[in-house]
Amino acid sequence: MKVLVVDDELPARQRLRSMINELDDCIVCAEAVNGSEALARTAELEPDLLLLDVRMPDMDGIEVARHIQQMNQPPAIIFTTAYGEYALPAFDTHAADYLLKPVRKERLGEALSKARRLSRNRNDAQACELGVAAARKQICARIRGNMTLIPVDDVRYFQADSKYITVGYDSGQVLIEDTIKSLENEFSDSFIRIHRNALISIQHIQGLERTAEGRCQVCLLGVDERLEVSRRHLSALRRLIRDLHS
């Protein structure tokens, strides 16, 4: 079992590495000191398991786990933390276990055995449950081979094209692998469906325009292009715009 150790404190990483080295069939494939590095290492090395701290700079472990669960083959996750109050949100991310520091070797062994029994794959229902339970604050995308985090507040729209989703945000566009339905479930509080293939950010809506052909398009702050609104979703969008300006 390949294990990625994620903790911002060197002594904690050294302690976990030492214990793992004494266990059969486990090897530390890498270490990460923050959330962004954890996501990059996971995408690069495809570990079987993350030993993941909760409180870290840049991005906490709960947020990291939410991003991990969006991957095609997410590794198992065991949280390691000195704080017991994060247990409930941690298990909402389908974590295999939750270990309190200082982690004991026997308890770590039990958690690793439990993680081995879990499937690395997560079905669509679990992914949707995760999205409803706690929406991500950032979108993880690969830009020129590097993992990049885009704040959801900077996203203007999601638009489906074949098996990819175009994410339009304040600095341009990126592609991610997801579905409009799962994104709609996850971000229902901040995005609205305007077409079978598109969601737009509620906070960035400027208004509606009608084309010479009679089609309705939405104008978004910071976006030059106009996105078409289907007849099916036009009434709900108009009501929302009225409510926003009332």
Distance CA 29, CA 13 (A): 12
> Full-prediction pTM beyond 0.75?
no
- State which H helix or E strand residue 133 sits in: helix 124-133
Token pair recorded at residue 11: 């002594």
Tell whether the model's pLDDT for residue 81 goes beyond 80: yes
CATH numbers and ranges of domains, the chain: 2-129 (3.40.50.2300), 136-245 (2.40.50.1020)
Selected residue with higher pLDDT from 10 and 244 = 10
Mean pLDDT computed over 151-162: 93
Q: Which class for 212: exposed (0-12), middle (13-18), buried (19 or more C-beta within 10 A)?
A: exposed
Write down the residue that tokens 């995408």 correspond to: 43
Tell whether the model's pLDDT for residue 236 goes beyond 50: yes
Mean pLDDT (the chain) is 87
Query: What is the band of 134 on the pLDDT scale with cuts at 50, 70, 90?
Result: low
- Beta bridge partner(s), residue 30: 4
Query: What is the band of 209 on the pLDDT scale with cuts at 50, 70, 90?
Result: very high
Token pair recorded at residue 73: 């083959």
Tell whether the model's pLDDT for residue 133 goes beyond 60: no
60 Cβ contact list (under 8 Å, min separation 6): 35, 54
Q: pLDDT tens, 85-122? A: 777 777 777 888 889 999 999 999 988 988 887 644 44
**187: which DSSP letter?**
T
**Which phi and psi angles does 179 have, rounded to 5°?**
-130, 150
Mean pLDDT computed over 27-47: 93
Query: What is the band of 127 on the pLDDT scale with cuts at 50, 70, 90?
Result: very low
Mean pLDDT computed over 202-206: 96
